[in-house]
Amino acid sequence: MNDLCHLLRLARPWRFRMAVGILLSVIVILSNVALLALSGWFITSMALAGVGSLVLEFFTPAAAIRGLAVLRTFARYLERLVTHDATLRLLSVLRVWFYQQLAHLAPARLQDFRDGDVLARFRADIDSLDNFYLRILTPAIAGLISSLIILAGICWFSPSVALIDAVVLILAGVVVPWIVASLTQACGNQIATVRSSVQAASTDLVRGLAELQMVGAVSHQTDHLRQLSQQLISAQRRQAWISASGGAICALMGQLGLFFAFILLFNTDHATGISASEIVMLLFTILASTEAVAGLPAAFAALGTTRAAARRLFSMTELTPAIVLPENSPIPESSELSFSAVTMRYTPDAPKVLDKLSFTVPAGHCLAILGPSGAGKTTVLNLVQGFWETTAGDVSIGGRPVRALSEDTLRQMISVVGQKTYLFNASIRDNLRLVAPDADDEALWDALARAALDDEVRAFPLGLDTLVGELGGRLSGGQARRIGIARAYLSHAPIVLLDEPTEGLDAVNTELVLNCLKELIKGKTTLLVTHQIQPLSLADSRLLLDKQ
């Protein structure tokens, strides 16, 4: 319930649209009930008038029936428009909110989550929340309001019939949905969990296809994915069967209510004062009243999935960041880097990665950090960027501890060129402007020229508008690496971190990248992490780390 209350708080900016959607839903339900009830009354009255038992004014009820039919259609259109618009707007806000929460956790607190799992939470789990706003909250409130109005109208003619309808509505709108929600809770949780596993397994299969082919494990991975898919389909099938059964029971409740009301109304003693036309009208009203709650069993069948999705989202956003940086801080006057007796453990019971490490990189100096895998080279880069808090000691920039610098300040001070350049499936222009949103085309071309990439981009038919593809798949490794260098030029950051900048490149691209980096790091404080010999030509000094 705490998670559902949290969802309601997130929906507060859209409460007016949601209220309008609920009002329109009430109008739709009442229009349908009134249309069927009035039609029954009108047909019966016409029959009685035909045999001379009743004098009927024809035009008013006929016009009312036409008006209700038009009102129902128009209100249904507006209700769909308003509720779906509010829900889609809310989901877009939720995606931005969730991304902002993850930004504070990355990368330290997200390293224990698989990429596919995070993606499933970001997409499928947030999509599941439309059930809560669109198919649970709105129909439940609209059904409650409509039911009370319908019961009040029936009570005006017959309190006993109103009591029968109240029992029907409570059974169909409260008891059956509650039973359905209870029966589908387990499979709803399974759907949310297995769906994430399917996403993660699919990601592993696609991204690791080359490695899986090399070791002959493609069939094993596809079998694993097939098993997960079967589990997901099985859980969805159980949920669908329970939902359909709940809907059938609700329809049966309406028929039973009609049956008992028929017996009651055609009892001579009870029907005194109620005309034949009114009896038919009341029977049709009971039959149509179940529409107010007809959608609730299907909606509450998805409640388990919705609650599980909400819990998965909030379980991530409730994580405490590995390091809490201030919101604002002045920019240090110097770009000097300093490690003062830094000790680092990733968890309290984990071995030390760094043990009382101390060194200083003067402004404009390039230091190469060498050592075997696991010696802590990447940890040094992470600490400089403020991704982790040190266990002991201080990491300083310009004499100010990193923990005292805001995230915006750190991003202005530091640019990173690594072995993996993260590119979005957008144009070259958009990928470059990630670090300089206000840069004009002239600045972009200048950065590309400094990265020795301008001629190649000009050769593309669309130039800067060329789409790089998913994860930069339409560019070569060297081109993607040089886009990263162009970003570093655009950022004008005084500190440059080079993390295996030539890893995986051929000799030609290695030479191109090194020449570009020589110009990039001139006058800038630089940390270079590499296993290769060629990049060491960039360094002014070297630091060898031993594995703890």
pLDDT in tens, 281-329: 888 888 888 888 888 888 888 888 888 888 888 888 888 888 888 888 8
Q: Is the peptide bond before 107 cis (omega within 30 degrees of 0)?
A: yes
Which residues lie below 8 Å from residue 279, measured CB to CB, with a gap of 6+? Answer: 265, 266, 271
pLDDT in tens, 61-70: 888 888 988 9
Q: Are 526 and 538 in contact (CB under 8 A)?
A: yes
| Radius of gyration (C-alpha) of the chain in whole angstroms | 33
For residue 128, is pLDDT > 80?
no
Cα–Cα distances in Å, from 186 out to 205, 238, 298, 304?
Answer: 28, 10, 16, 7
Mean pLDDT, to the nearest integer, of 120-132? Answer: 77
> Over the stretch 197-218, which tens digit does the pLDDT of each residue have?
888 888 888 877 878 888 888 8
The tally of CA atoms less than 13 A away on the side-chain side of residue 272 is 2
Per DSSP, the chain holds a count of helices (H) and strands (E) of: 21, 9
pLDDT of the residue at 11: 76
**CA–CA distance, 139 with 26 (Å, rounded to integer):** 9
List pLDDT tens digits, range 391-403.
899 999 998 999 9
Q: Mean pLDDT, the chain, as a whole number?
A: 85
Rounded Cα gap, residues 176 and 543, in angstroms: 70
CATH class of 337-544: alpha beta
- Percent of the chain at pLDDT > 90 equals 20
pLDDT score of 317? 81
Q: Are 485 and 513 in contact (CB under 8 A)?
A: yes
Is the pLDDT at 367 greater than 90? The verdict is yes
The answer to whether residue 96 scores a pLDDT higher than 70 is: yes
Of 108 and 77, which is predicted with more confidence? 77
Cβ pair 269, 138 in contact under 8 A? no
Quick one: pLDDT at residue 9? Answer: 78
**Does position 219 have pLDDT exceeding 60, yes or no?**
yes
Rounded-to-10 torsion of CA 339, 343, 347, 349: 170
Alpha helices by DSSP H, listed for 463-548, are 477-491, 507-520
CATH number of 2-317: 1.20.1560.10
Q: What is the helix (H) or strand (E) element at residue 495, kind and residue range?
A: strand 495-499
Asked if pLDDT for residue 175 goes beyond 90, the answer is yes
pLDDT score at 54? 62
What average pLDDT does this structure show over 20-32?
91
Per-residue pLDDT for 268 more than 60? no
> What is the reported pLDDT for 55?
63
Inform me whether the pLDDT recorded for 270 exceeds 60: no
One fold for both 2-317 and 337-544?
Answer: no
Would you state the pLDDT for residue 237? 92
Report strand pairing: 541-544 vs 392-397. unpaired
The reported pLDDT for the residue numbered 271 is 53
Query: What is the domain partition of the chain in residue ranges?
Result: 2-317, 337-544
Instruction: Decide if pLDDT at 155 tops 80.
Output: yes
What is residue 167's predicted lDDT score, i.e. its pLDDT?
Answer: 92
Q: Which of helix, strand or coil describes residue 138?
A: helix
Q: Which H or E element spans position 401?
A: strand 400-401
Give the model's pLDDT for residue 362: 93
- Cβ atoms of residues 436 and 443 within 8 Å: yes
pLDDT in tens, 332-361: 989 999 999 999 988 888 888 888 999 999
Q: How many residues are there in the chain?
A: 548
Residue type, 97: W
Identify the CA nearest to 30 among candidates 58, 84, 79, 68: 68
Asked if 366 and 521 touch (Cβ cutoff 8 Å), the reply is yes
- Are 490 and 420 a contacting pair, CB within 8 Å? no
Contacts of 463 (CB under 8 A, 6+ apart): 428, 457
> Does residue 503 have a pLDDT over 90?
no
